[in-house]
Amino acid sequence: MDINSNIQTNTPNVSPKFTGINHIMKKRLYSNTKFLEQLPDIFTRENGSVGTLPKDILNLIGLNRPKTEIAQKIEGVKDTLHNANAILSNIELKKLEIADNINPKNLINPFLPKLAKIEFQPSRIPRIFNQIRTRFLPPKEYLTEVSNTAGKYIDSRFKELGIIKPDDKVKLSYIDQGKFKNGFKLEILNKDDEQIIHPKVLLSFKDKAVYKQQFDKIIEIIQKYYSEIKEKPYQKIADNIINNASAKIIPPEQKEQYRSVILKMYDSIKNHHGTDKFKVIVHNRMTEEFKNNGIEAETNLTQFIKNAAGAPLDTSNFIPIHYLNLKHNVGLTEFADSTLPKQTHKVNLYKLGQYHDDIEANKNNTIAGRIIDYGGIKSLPDLENIAYNPIVRRYYNKVSQIKRKTSEQTQIARINYWNSIYRDASKGKVPNHNDVLLALKVSKMHIEPKYWHKLMDARSDAFGSL
């Protein structure tokens, strides 16, 4: 794919000479992750950087210095975060090492009923694989050791840069692992262990290649499990698991069906063909999930929402992610706690044609009333153009914002506005008239169907059924 032609085709008035990654990321959402992956190689000036460092860190740098010195120190802080994340990324490599040495029986036996869902609920398999992958998590001692090593590195570099005093210290501690990134609490403390700035979270995004390798390791372990176990012991294990499985895992009326599938898995996987179905399902799901998760997609989401929200995220229901780097898989955000500025407004994702599908399922994504994870924000069905096209978004929101004293008056006002725009756009009298017509099609949802016959496109049926 020629990225330059892609930019010119999909983002009006964008040229590598006059804009950068920030501008491209904030204007619209992109479903093409390959396009996002190539941006740092085209816009080389930013070196993969998106956003800015938090204000309190910039204050530590000191903005009363000469501009060249400020710029050098900012780059020094960014490089420090990049190198610290290189240390933290060893956690994901350690998981591969753990996977290589894991006992296949201990890992696979408890998951046999769930793996059998390949025949009953194949859509559940990626989630089950992710549950298996959590078994590769290194021990707490290792996580602490890696966090401390990265923290000491940041400490020494910040002191070299003159950002913190000799008796200040940086503390970095492991918080938790997510599906696509790990989180670490970053604190800068004085000699009395008092916070110098509000705590941050260093987001360590997982490298896509390593992420894929971890899932491939599960396939290998399944294959190894079946190559090593004999048929009779396997049958006994299957009987024991099925007879003792909870009704939530295996519905009582489906026990014999599950038994049949588990026994058939023995022959199919032992003959090296049975894992193919797992591979296809998991890899297809991975490709789909990276459209809304990972460093590229989440950088796009954060910048788009920040730009389209209409008010600062610092006082919203979203935690602001200040800085991200596409080349180094790292981000820096605020730590969610009660000391953050009071919320004064909420970001309405629906106005942006989006919804968050991982809030109800994962309660940890909301802390102290703020959404901390942008991964999993997706386009509403049939409303993708609101996020992808700023002209569509503008007119869609204009129609929704028209309100009068009564519902009927509101509908009449919306119809009049809709028709006035349609009259000019259908004759090509407004700029980007095709985009405007597309916007009007989407905006119909703000007008009750019983009034659609009053819209100027009703006779021509120019849009067809909605």
Helices 125-133 & 275-289 angle (0-180, nearest 10): 90
Burial of 26 (0-12, 13-18, 19+ CB in 10 A): middle
Whether 50 is in a domain gets the answer no
pLDDT (mean) for 416-432: 91
12 pLDDT above the threshold of 60: no
Mean confidence (pLDDT) of the chain:
88
At residue 102 the predicted structure's pLDDT band, cuts being 50, 70 and 90, is: very high
pLDDT at 9: 35
Whether 53 is in a domain gets the answer no
Identity of residue 153 = Y
111 pLDDT above the threshold of 50: yes
How many beta carbons lie within 10 A of that of residue 377, not counting itself?
Answer: 26
At residue 17 the predicted structure's pLDDT band, cuts being 50, 70 and 90, is: very low
At residue 462 the predicted structure's pLDDT band, cuts being 50, 70 and 90, is: very low
304 pLDDT above the threshold of 60: yes
d(CA 16, CA 24): 10
d(CA 372, CA 387): 21
At residue 4 the predicted structure's pLDDT band, cuts being 50, 70 and 90, is: very low
Helix (H) / strand (E) element for 323: namely: strand 321-325
Whether 395 is in a domain gets the answer yes
pLDDT at 67: 93
At residue 360 the predicted structure's pLDDT band, cuts being 50, 70 and 90, is: low
Whether 169 is in a domain gets the answer no
Token readout for 303 is 């910048």
212 pLDDT above the threshold of 70: yes
**What is the per-residue pLDDT across 126-152, written as a single tens digit (0 to 9) for each?**
889 999 999 999 999 999 999 999 999
At residue 20 the predicted structure's pLDDT band, cuts being 50, 70 and 90, is: confident
Report CA-CA distances (Å) from 39 to 3, 16, 46, 104, 271: 8, 10, 10, 41, 43
Nearest alpha carbon to residue 304 among 19, 31, 25: 25
**What is the per-residue pLDDT across 56-84, written as a single tens digit (0 to 9) for each?**
999 999 989 999 999 999 999 999 999 99
Least confident segment among 52-56, 93-97, 278-282:
278-282
463 pLDDT above the threshold of 60: no
Whether 367 is in a domain gets the answer no
Helices 90-100 & 67-88 angle (0-180, nearest 10): 10
333 pLDDT above the threshold of 60: yes
pLDDT (mean) for 291-315: 90
At residue 11 the predicted structure's pLDDT band, cuts being 50, 70 and 90, is: very low
pLDDT at 15: 36
pLDDT (mean) for 246-252: 87
168 pLDDT above the threshold of 80: yes
Q: Which residue has the higher pLDDT, 386 or 320?
A: 320
Whether 399 is in a domain gets the answer yes
pLDDT at 402: 92
Portion of the chain with pLDDT greater than 70, in percent:
93
348 pLDDT above the threshold of 90: no
Least confident segment among 189-193, 322-326, 360-364:
360-364
pLDDT at 377: 87
**What is the per-residue pLDDT across 440-450, written as a single tens digit (0 to 9) for each?**
988 888 899 88
- Number of domains forming the structure of the chain: 1
pLDDT at 458: 59
Nearest alpha carbon to residue 330 among 82, 89, 94, 146: 82
Q: Could you tell me which residues are beta bridge partners of residue 182?
A: 177, 204
Helix (H) / strand (E) element for 219: namely: helix 208-228
Chain position carrying tokens 């009779």: 232
pLDDT at 272: 66
Helix (H) / strand (E) element for 25: namely: helix 21-27
d(CA 354, CA 365): 17
How many beta carbons lie within 10 A of that of residue 145, not counting itself?
Answer: 14
pLDDT at 14: 38
pLDDT at 267: 86
Report CA-CA distances (Å) from 291 to 68, 261, 295, 375: 38, 33, 10, 9
**What torsion do the CA atoms of 74, 51, 321, 394 make, to the nearest 10 degrees?**
160
Least confident segment among 15-19, 140-144, 290-294:
15-19
Chain position carrying tokens 């460092």: 53
At residue 193 the predicted structure's pLDDT band, cuts being 50, 70 and 90, is: very high
214 pLDDT above the threshold of 60: yes
Q: 447: domain range?
A: 389-454
At residue 351 the predicted structure's pLDDT band, cuts being 50, 70 and 90, is: confident
d(CA 368, CA 296): 26
Whether 309 is in a domain gets the answer no
pLDDT (mean) for 101-111: 94
Whether 413 is in a domain gets the answer yes
460 pLDDT above the threshold of 60: no
